[in-house]
C-alpha cells in the first residue's frame, strides 16, 4: 500500500534505503544456551524507505520475533 498525495509537492520520496533478507530463521534459546524451538523458518522480505509496510498475523505467528531478528536483538 502506498500513500498517494493529492499534490506531488506534499511529499518527498527518498528511495535510497532498501533492507532485504533471505532465508531468515530464528530460534528460542533455553537457559542452558541450547536451541529450544524454531520460531521463524526461512522467511524473505524487503523494506523500502518511503513506503508503509504492515506485518500481519495471528497471535503467536512470529511478528515480534521477526522484528527482533531484523533489529538484531534478543526477544
- pLDDT tens-digit series, residues 3-18: 444 544 455 555 578 8
* Domain spans in the chain, listed from the N-terminal domain onward: 8-66
pLDDT at res. 16: 76
What residues contact 43, with CB distance under 8 A and at least 6 apart? 21, 24, 25, 66
Q: Is the dihedral of CA 57, 58, 61, 66 positive or negative?
A: positive
Taking alpha carbons only, the member of 69, 68, 21, 13 closest to residue 47 is 21
Cell of 63: 511478528
Helix (H, G, I), strand (E, B) or coil at 35: strand
- Radius of gyration of the chain from Cα atoms? 17
pTM reported for the whole predicted model: 0.64
Cell of 20: 532485504
Amino acid at each position: 500500500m502506498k500513500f498517494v498525495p493529492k499534490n506531488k509537492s506534499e511529499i518527498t520520496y527518498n528511495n535510497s534505503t532498501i533492507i532485504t533478507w533471505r532465508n531468515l530463521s530464528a530460534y528460542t534459546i533455553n537457559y542452558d544456551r541450547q536451541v529450544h524451538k524454531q520460531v521463524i523458518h526461512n522467511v524473505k522480505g524487503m523494506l523500502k524507505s518511503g513506503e508503509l509496510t504492515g506485518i500481519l498475523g495471528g497471535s503467536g505467528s512470529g511478528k515480534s520475533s521477526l522484528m527482533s531478528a531484523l533489529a538484531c536483538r534478543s526477544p
